[in-house]
Structure 1
Amino acid sequence: MDEALLLFSVVVVIVAVLASLSSPSEARAFFVFGDSLVDNGNNNFLATTARADSPPYGIDTPSQQPTGRFSNGLNIPDILSEHLGAEPTLPYLSPDLQGERLLVGANFASAGIGILNDTGIQFINIIRINRQLQHFEEYQERLRAMIGQSQAQKLVNQALFLITLGGNDFVNNYYLIPFSVRSRQFSLPDYVDYILFEYKKILTRLHEMGGRRALVTGTGPLGCVPAELALRSLDGECDPELQRAASLFNSQLFQVLQELNTQFGADVFISANAFRMHMNYVTNPEAFGFTTSRIACCGQGPYNGLGLCTVASNLCEDRSKYAFWDAFHPSEKACRIVVSHFMDGSSEYMNPMNLSTILAMDAMI
């Protein structure tokens, strides 16, 4: 064979291998569980006050219309889907989730929920985490009817999972009101122990249902969101008590995930240090192109942190300059920063490995 032709053939093979590693997950399903940080519209189908179905939510989407996401545009699951080379997952309650769309996965998340069933009771009709897992069982039944038992199991086992829980158990439960039921029942360390005991059961159940690769986010910097600054801060500094709660929860969650991985003999659960990811731009917003990480783009009152984001709210002109979209939720730009850490972050952000490594490894199995 001519040397030039041989060299060309070798180059073609190398490029093909690299291409397979760079986009290993085109057919990989994606399942999302959790709260408003990852809900992409399930609550639109519920009679609840925890909804993002009116303007100016969705102002930066192509249609400029609200989609049920608590964002000016895309949220973390949407951006992860981009990296997976897939279309965004549909809300499980969407009537459009049928046929071939089932193969993409589904989003089961519901704004307002927590690890505990009594978290978010003020929102009345939301999909608590145990119900989300029941919906996942129903989804698998539909999938088996469509592609058969073995193929359905393979799709689920090879899927990527994302679960985001815990923040509401503090801000919408333990610290919701002074002398709340839970704060009178538990000291903060005991409360953290209690909710992590419950969380471990949830994660174990997810593994029993077929989850083999799950990104588990800790809570973000709870004391730094505009809603808590408006209620608790006189000088714009993050509330130390809520920061302490997040720190206790996150450090112990990391230990729980390590214990589960040891129990299952595999790196099933990947710890995503959301606290550190968010604190980067909270403490140094200018380094990320933001003008503020204290004032929400949409809202009213101090730091635009009081009440809901509505058409009557203050609304910033340039969402790319604001780390927070509303009183609790990051802007799309901030979500993209977080997902960049998911993809390529060092072990201080993603442990035991980042998502790029996971995708490359799993592509070779």
Structure 2
Amino acid sequence: MASIFFISFFFALVVKISLPISTIASKNVSASAVFAFGDSTLDGGNNNHIKTLFRGDHLPYGRDLPQHMATGRFSNGMLSTDYIVQFLGLKDLLPPYLNPNLSDHDLLTGVTFASGGSGLDKQTIEATSAMDLMSQFKLFEDVLKRLNKSVGEVKTRNLIKKAVFVVGVGTNDMLFNAYLFPTRLIKYANNVYGYHDLLLKNLAYFIQKLYGRGARRIIVTGLPPMGCLPLMVTINSFLPGPNWLKRLCNPKQNQQCEAYNTKLSSKVHSLEATLKGFEETMKGCCGTGQWEMGPVCNVLDLTCVNASKFLFWDAMHPTQSGYWFLAQYGIQNVLPYVTS
């Protein structure tokens, strides 16, 4: 089963359970690697190597890093994922994949594919020229190819299974398409909640893509209270209304972000329930699982003890559990169309 967690951006509220850092640190926490996808909150410097105005490759960005140099991180120092890899004992900083000096050895403990200005809506990408999530996913597939070549498919598969995947995106979509230039909302009759559904649909699709490549430990961050972001406070202070010329949070925008996070939490629960994986997907339960089927799969062959952990019963056909998932897909996605 995939473990998918939702984290509220500022308050670190995990869907399943909320633990203080001291409690988390006391647990036996381990991971093989960390792979990050999303926007500037997770970009370790990928935007340094693409054509976009959204860059953090100049001071004062990075001034509080050990070398006091701008690395492309949109911060004065480290990002949350940098702290995570340090805590896990993997490396000091999570490097950007587009760094030309990145070695295959660096890939073993993870990289970030995130791009400042990225989003879930193609209209956001058109405005920022950042890498969208599917472009980031293609880079991840490149990593899989490099790892398969350098350490082999088995080690790569085990590494990915034990890795942590962090996905943080959505803020730019709301910023550009709902608040700064709300032309996108015309399609939704100026209903920002309808726009939420589009974003979450695209996010769910991306998570399913990650799952299909072996990701099982996935952390998804939500929106911050955008009405309190300094930029939004400034913009709102110049708009006619109760906050005119006042530096105050916009409660309506905060409420909209909270509503998005509530939907995201529900979506995460739904995905976690449906993305139940099998421990073995490359061979069948019968015999060696590599070629036996039909008459060759018989009582003389040894079979696995727990077939529910296998996707295939023989080298060609699914187990009962495999068929159950096929049936569930048909019930949810096909029957409604053919019976309506």
Scaled by the length of structure 2, what TM-score is found? 0.68
1:240 to 242, 251, 260: 251
- Which protein has the larger Cα radius of gyration, Structure 1 or Structure 2? 2
Q: In 1, are the aligned partners of 2:35 and 2:111 still within 8 Å (CA)?
A: yes
Residue 139 (1) aligns with residue 143 (2): yes
Residue 169 (1) aligns with residue 180 (2): no
Q: Secondary structure at the match of 1:57?
A: coil
1:53 maps to what in 2? Answer: 57
Shift of residue 244, structure 1, vs aligned partner? 2.3
1:207 to 211, 233, 237: 211
Q: In 1, are the aligned partners of 2:54 and 2:117 still within 8 Å (CA)?
A: yes
1:363 maps to what in 2? Answer: none
2:45 maps to what in 1? Answer: 41
Residue 258 (1) aligns with residue 269 (2): yes
Q: Following the alignment from structure 2 to structure 1, what is the Cα–Cα distance between the partners of residues 249 and 126?
A: 26
Shift of residue 192, structure 1, vs aligned partner? 0.9
Q: Following the alignment from structure 1 to structure 2, what is the Cα–Cα distance between the partners of residues 196 and 158?
A: 26
Q: Secondary structure at the match of 1:174?
A: helix
Question: Which one-letter code corresponds to 1:153 in the other structure?
Answer: R
1:63/1:106 CA distance change after superposition, 3 Å: same
2:107 maps to what in 1? Answer: 102
CA RMSD of aligned residues (A): 1.7
Shift of residue 241, structure 1, vs aligned partner? 2.9
Question: Which one-letter code corresponds to 1:139 in the other structure?
Answer: V
Q: In 1, are the aligned partners of 2:125 and 2:131 still within 8 Å (CA)?
A: no
Shift of residue 206, structure 1, vs aligned partner? 1.1
1:111 maps to what in 2? Answer: 116
Residue 195 (1) aligns with residue 199 (2): yes
Q: Secondary structure at the match of 2:180?
A: coil
Q: Following the alignment from structure 2 to structure 1, what is the Cα–Cα distance between the partners of residues 82 and 173?
A: 24
Shift of residue 245, structure 1, vs aligned partner? 2.1
CA offset digits 1:7-65 (Å, max 9, x no partner):
xxxxxxxxxxxxx986653x611100010011010001112100001111111112211
Q: Following the alignment from structure 2 to structure 1, what is the Cα–Cα distance between the partners of residues 256 and 90?
A: 36
Scaled by the length of structure 1, what TM-score is found? 0.64
CA offset digits 1:282-327 (Å, max 9, x no partner):
xxxxxxxxxxxxxxxxxxxxxxxxxxxxxxxxxxxxxxxxxxxxxx
Residue 71 (1) aligns with residue 75 (2): yes
Equivalent residue pairs, number:
243
| Percent of aligned pairs sharing the same letter | 33
1:300 maps to what in 2? Answer: none
Q: Secondary structure at the match of 2:116?
A: coil
Q: Following the alignment from structure 1 to structure 2, what is the Cα–Cα distance between the partners of residues 192 and 204?
A: 18
1:23/1:96 CA distance change after superposition, 3 Å: farther
Question: Which one-letter code corresponds to 1:143 in the other structure?
Answer: L
Q: Following the alignment from structure 2 to structure 1, what is the Cα–Cα distance between the partners of residues 84 and 49?
A: 24
Q: Secondary structure at the match of 1:161?
A: strand
Structure 2 counterparts to residues 1-365 of structure 1, below 5 A = 24-25=29-30, 28-87=32-91, 88-124=93-129, 126-177=130-181, 180-186=182-188, 187-233=191-237, 234=243, 235-265=246-276
Q: Secondary structure at the match of 1:107?
A: coil
